Amino acid sequence: MTGVGSNWAGNVRYTARARHQPSSVDELRKLVGAADRIRAVGTGHSFNRLGDTTGELVSVAGLPPTVALDRDRGTVTVAAGLRYGDVATRLHADGYALANLASLPHISVAGAVATATHGSGAVHGNLATAVAALELVTADGDLLTVDRADPRFPGMVVNLGALGVVTRVTLDVVPTFDVRQYVRFGLPRAALDAACDAAYSVSVFTRWRSSRLDQVWVKQRVDEPPLPAEWLGTVAADAPCHPVPGMPAEHCTAQLGEPGPWYERLPHFRLGFTPSSGDELQSEWHLPRASATDALAALDPAAERIAAVLQVCELRTVAADTLWLSPNHDRDSLAIHFTWIGDPVAVAPVLAEVEERLAPFAPRPHWGKLFGRDPAATYPRHDDFRALLRDLDPAGKFRTEELDRYFPQS
C-alpha cells in the first residue's frame, strides 16, 4: 500500500482511502474481489475525476512487465501497466512496430486504451483500435479474456476503467519502419485539410493569435517523398522546435528531416524527458472531420479569450472506428486539443464558451480531459455500454461519481 497521491498535473488529488500496487495477478484478484469500491490508476495523465473513487485505487505497474510477441498472429501481448515507450523499444529490437503512437510515450497502455487516447494520421485510428484482445479482473475477482470474436468486444476496449482492472493487452503490430520529421511555420488555415493528408502523421499547432496556424509537425515514413522546399505556403524551420514557444526543444523528438525509428519520431516528446512542468490543464474535443472548417470558424469570435489562457492548441486527424465509446466512433475526426495554463478559475469560463461554440458540431470530448457537457447524446452506443456496465458490474464496484453522471445506473 502506498500514498494515494494525485494525477500528473496535480489538479486532481485522489480521494481514495488507500492505494495498492500488487506484484501478481493473483494478488490483484484478491484485492478486487474483497473491495467494495476500487479503481485502476495508470500514469495519471487524465485531468478529471473519472478515475477517482472514495474506495481504493490499484496500480498494475507492479505486475511482471511481460512483452510477448506472436509473429504468426502479428500481435504482441503486453502487461497493461507498461508505458508505450517501454513496449516500443522492445518491439523495435524484434523488428516490429505499432502503427500509431500518442504524443507522449510516457503513458500506460491500459490507461491510453481505456480513454481512446490517440495519435495522429488521416488513415490511422486511435490507440485502442490496435487492441486485439484484453485480459481483465472483473468485479468478482475472476479473470476474463475477450477478443474480437466476442460481440461485447467493441464496448469493452474503450471502457473508462468501468468494467474491471485490465492486466494484459494484445496489440496488432506491423514491420518496423523509419520516419523523418519536419516542422513548418505559418500554414494558411485553408490548407489545413491538405496538410493533414500529406504524410503518415501530421499535427498542427496554433495559439489563436494569428490567421495562420503557427507550426505543422509532419511525420513521414522514409519511403514517402520528402517535403518540397515550397509546401502549402509555409516556411521550413531551420532549428528544432517545441510546440510551446519558450520550452526547451531538447525535450522533443528529432526534427529537420533526420531519419529515425518510428518510436523516436511519432511521439512529439522523448521518453527520457519530462514533456512539460505539468503546470497545465487540458481539454480536447473530436468533431466530424467534414465540419473542421466551420468548427474552427465558430471559435474565431472567442480567439482573444482563448489565447489569454492558452499555452497551445493542437489539431489532429483520427480515422473512424467501431468502438462504442471512442470519440471517433463511425466518423473520421478532427481533434481540437487545448493545453491551458494551470489556472482552473481563469480557464473554466473559456472552456464553457468553447463547448458552447462547438455544440452544433456534435463534439465528443476526450474522456480523460476537462469538459462540462454530458456527451451521452453524441454516442449512438451509449445505452449499450450502460447495459454492459449493469451486466459486468451490477453492484457498481468500479463506478465513480463522474461515471454515474454520464452512465446512470437506473
Percent of the residues in the chain that have a pLDDT greater than 70, as a whole number: 98
Strands (E), 110-261: 131-137, 143-147, 165-172, 174-175, 178-188, 201-206, 212-221, 235-236, 260-261
Residues whose CB falls within 8 Å of the CB of residue 349, separated by 6 or more in sequence, listed in order: none
**Range among 74-88, 238-252, 262-276 with highest mean pLDDT value:** 74-88
pLDDT at 276 over 80: no
pLDDT at 22 over 70: yes
Looking at every residue in the chain, the average pLDDT score rounds to 94
Residue 76 near residue 171 (C-beta atoms within 8 A)? yes
pLDDT at 40 over 70: yes
- The whole-number average pLDDT for the span 142-157 is 98
- Domains annotated for the chain, with CATH where assigned, are 67-175 (3.30.465.10), 178-365 (3.30.70.2520)
Place of cell 493542437: 314
| pLDDT tens per residue across span 165-217 | 999 999 999 999 999 999 999 999 999 999 999 999 999 999 999 999 999 99
pLDDT confidence of 119, banded at 50, 70, 90? Answer: confident
CA neighbours within 13 Å on the CB side: how many for 247? 18
CA 393 to CA 151: how far, in whole Å?
18
The neighbour count for residue 10, using CB atoms within 10 Å, is 14
Residue 150 burial by Cβ neighbours in a 10 Å radius (0-12, 13-18, 19+): middle
Looking at residue 42, what is its pLDDT?
87
pLDDT confidence of 70, banded at 50, 70, 90? Answer: very high
Phi-psi group of 386: left, alpha or beta (phi > 0 → left; psi -120 to 50 → alpha; rest → beta): alpha
| pLDDT tens per residue across span 282-339 | 999 999 999 999 999 999 999 999 999 999 999 999 999 999 999 999 999 999 999 9
pTM of the model: 0.95
- The whole-number average pLDDT for the span 371-395 is 95
